[in-house]
Chain A
Amino acid sequence: MVETRLSFKYVAKRAAVSIFIIWALLTLLFLLLKAMPGDIADILLNPQLDQESIEALRRRYGLNQPLWKQYLRWVFNYATFDFGYSLNSTDKVVTIIAIRLPRTLVLFGTAFLLQYTVGIIAGIHFGWNRGTKTDKGGFLTGLTLYSVPFFWIGWMLLLVFAHGQFAFDVLPLGHMTTAFQSEFSALNLVTDVMYHLVLPAGSLLIVGWAGAMLVMRTSMQEVVDAPYIETARAKGLPPSVVKYKHGARNALIPVATQAIIGIAFIIDGSVIVETVFSWPGIGALLVSAILERNFPVALAAFFFLGVLVVVMRFLTDVAYTFLDPRIKFGESS
């Protein structure tokens, strides 16, 4: 039975902080938009328009109002999920985002679980056997893979597994599903998505597992010589119980802290990997919108990636209460 002293006050405080950060994110986006040369009227502008039409356009977008009014409207619109319209289609931005967000979450969630499972298990193993050949080799391999650019490892995987040059033409080149997915049954759709997920998630895993491994390894090295490990051994507990139940569980806390950085790392990777594998998610949307200078979509995509980080951070903070019963929650920290 996992005991937790998760207090309402603590959760409320963290939630308040999260909302404050989201508000700050909004303000930053507004400043960024205003700092950019020109405004929406210039982007949509047809050179044949006369001054009157330009004014009408500006009035329509509220650009002739004082800055503070524009700011209030901006915050109100974003808070009510009204992001305006895409500049190169008739779709509302919120519709585009709503279609793409779950797809990003599928890739992100899979990569997150894989990275942390592999990283933590490897970290436990390397840290427990510190100084051995396995430890040193694993450390070197992990750090080297951590330095590989995401898009390049993606190309390497495509070259080997999808391009037929090495007789492993087994995995798809990109996209999330095969064409004509609407004719698929639900089960077929799930298998098809998983089949398309292998290479993108694999790229993220190969590069990112070292992040969790490095922290877990250091943390485990500190635990190895702790007196309570000695006690557990002296009691005659099986070595695997000592290693995982007594050692690893206590060494897990710094990894939860690192998860905050790890989340940001996976989001960076997702942006790149989605572009390489044509995965139709928010990261790829951000990149294409930026390159097309479609700012309503770009800013909304950026906003949602920011919200994703904030939400994950909130969940990590709550997960903390389960991991470390020593931390006092709810009081002023």
Chain B
Amino acid sequence: MSAEDDDMSLFTRIKQRHYGLYQSIRRGVGRFADQRVGVLGLLILIGLIVTALAAPFLAPHSLDWRAPEVLDKGGNADLPDDCSTADNPLDCRAQKESSGKTISHPAPPKFGDFTGDPYFAPLGTDHRGSDVLSRLIYGSQTALYIGLAAGLLSSLVGVPLGLISGYYGDTWIDEFIQRVIDLMFGLPFLPLVIVLVAANGITTTNIIIAIVIKSWLNNAIVIRGETLSLKERSYVEAAKVSGASDTRIVFRHIFPNVLPLAFIYLAQDSAIAVLTQANLAFLGLADFTNVSWGTMLNWIQTTGYVYDAWWWLLPPGLMITALAASFYFVGYSLEDVMNPQTSA
């Protein structure tokens, strides 16, 4: 090994070895960076992923925390915060009420610091006295999990079927897959998900599966169309002539070229999954053991505080919108990157 080779960093060597790939990725990233909407979406998404991962450190309270019902205990300093655990709940409650300083939940934001002021809940509390901000932060875990899992699963089903359908275009395999897709398109999306979830049991896994049953269709249709045109290219013919098997041609030569398209639809499917989960939760079809933004909104409805607790109503809706929008932003910007002739 010459001294010159040693001087080069690992990165430089990789760069030289895969020069073509490096250049095309750099061009793609450069074009994506021109799309301000896409960069904005990516930043929101990264922010939410960090929030979800660091939830225990970011959240001001644990999920079990309940705001105290009594602000000033006066002479009864040994009165418990939560009367339901007291030896004599009725007596405890009566004493609290007589002190005149009780607080009813949901309560608006309070920025107390435990030295005279009541408690710290920057986005207020819900009907049980738990901190809205903490639930919001933990809720990002559920939302991202459902969005990404449903998006990835749709791609895992839709992309291979689209590749197969396109590569064997105009054969019975293609015909069969196309008829199945046609049929599935006839089913209304949300009603189907509602019926499936209600019939199979309301769990997060069932919700994801029900979403995927419908959302792989778009992936398959688009990937099939792209494969139909790619398989006529000369490099596919060259691979065929040199004796490559069908599997090799599809996965080694065609698959990498449909990958960017697959990412666009992955992002869109994720956005749809996030919104669908919120809609299901609104209807009461959500796993209530998980903290999620949709569940928070379902609770504000069932407890009847929709028009009275803005601190509880606004944040979950804005978070759902932000997450779904970030997926859409990334997806549609990728689309513009892929079709440079139509981008501004």
Q: With both chains docked as a complex, state the minimum distance between the C-beta of B285 and any C-beta of chain A, in angstroms.
A: 8
Q: Is the CB of B275 within 8 A of A260?
A: no
0/1 per residue, A116-149, Cβ < 8 Å to B?
0000000000000011000110011001101111
Q: Is the CB of B194 within 8 A of A271?
A: yes
Q: Is the CB of B282 within 8 A of A272?
A: yes
Q: Which of A56-64, A75-83, A84-92, A155-163 contacts B (4 or more CB under 8 A)?
A: A155-163
Q: Is the CB of B279 within 8 A of A165?
A: no
0/1 per residue, A153-173, Cβ < 8 Å to B?
001101100010100000000
Q: Is the CB of B199 within 8 A of A35?
A: yes
Q: Is the CB of A25 within 8 A of B186?
A: yes
The residue that B317 contacts in the complex, of A24, A152, A283, with Cβ under 8 A, is A152
A144-B325, A221-B342 as given contacts; A272 in contact with B279, CB under 8 Å: yes
The residue that A159 contacts in the complex, of B182, B198, B307, B324, with Cβ under 8 A, is B307
Q: Is the CB of B190 within 8 A of A268?
A: yes
Across-interface contacts of A98 in B (CB, < 8 A): none
Q: Is the CB of B325 within 8 A of A155?
A: no
Q: With both chains docked as a complex, state the minimum distance between the C-beta of B221 and any C-beta of chain A, in angstroms.
A: 10
Q: With both chains docked as a complex, state the minimum distance between the C-beta of A309 and any C-beta of chain B, in angstroms.
A: 5
Q: Is the CB of A24 within 8 A of B183?
A: yes
Bound CA span A24–B187, Å: 10
Across-interface contacts of A156 in B (CB, < 8 A): 317
Across-interface contacts of B138 in A (CB, < 8 A): none
Across-interface contacts of B185 in A (CB, < 8 A): 260, 264, 309, 313
Bound CA span A268–B313, Å: 22
- Whether a CB of chain B sits under 8 angstroms from the CB of A205 is no
Q: Is the CB of A149 within 8 A of B187?
A: no
Across-interface contacts of B191 in A (CB, < 8 A): 267-268, 271, 283, 286, 301-302, 305-306
Q: Is the CB of A140 within 8 A of B297?
A: no
Footprint of B on A, CB under 8 Å?
A: 17, 21-22, 24-25, 28, 32, 35-36, 130-131, 135-136, 139-140, 143-144, 146-152, 155-156, 158-159, 163, 165, 214, 218, 221-222, 260, 264-265, 267-268, 271-272, 275, 283, 286-287, 290-291, 293, 298-299, 301-302, 305-306, 308-310, 313
19 A-B residue pairs with Cβ-Cβ distance under 8 Å, sorted by A, are A21-B183, A136-B344, A147-B271, A147-B275, A147-B323, A147-B328, A149-B282, A149-B297, A214-B332, A221-B342, A264-B189, A268-B188, A287-B283, A290-B198, A291-B283, A298-B198, A301-B191, A302-B191, A305-B191
Please name 20 further chain A to chain B contacts, defined as beta carbons within 8 Å, in addition to the given A268-B190, A268-B191, sorted by A numbering.
A21-B182, A139-B37, A143-B332, A144-B325, A146-B328, A147-B323, A149-B317, A152-B278, A163-B307, A272-B282, A275-B282, A283-B191, A287-B194, A291-B283, A305-B188, A305-B191, A306-B187, A306-B188, A310-B186, A313-B186
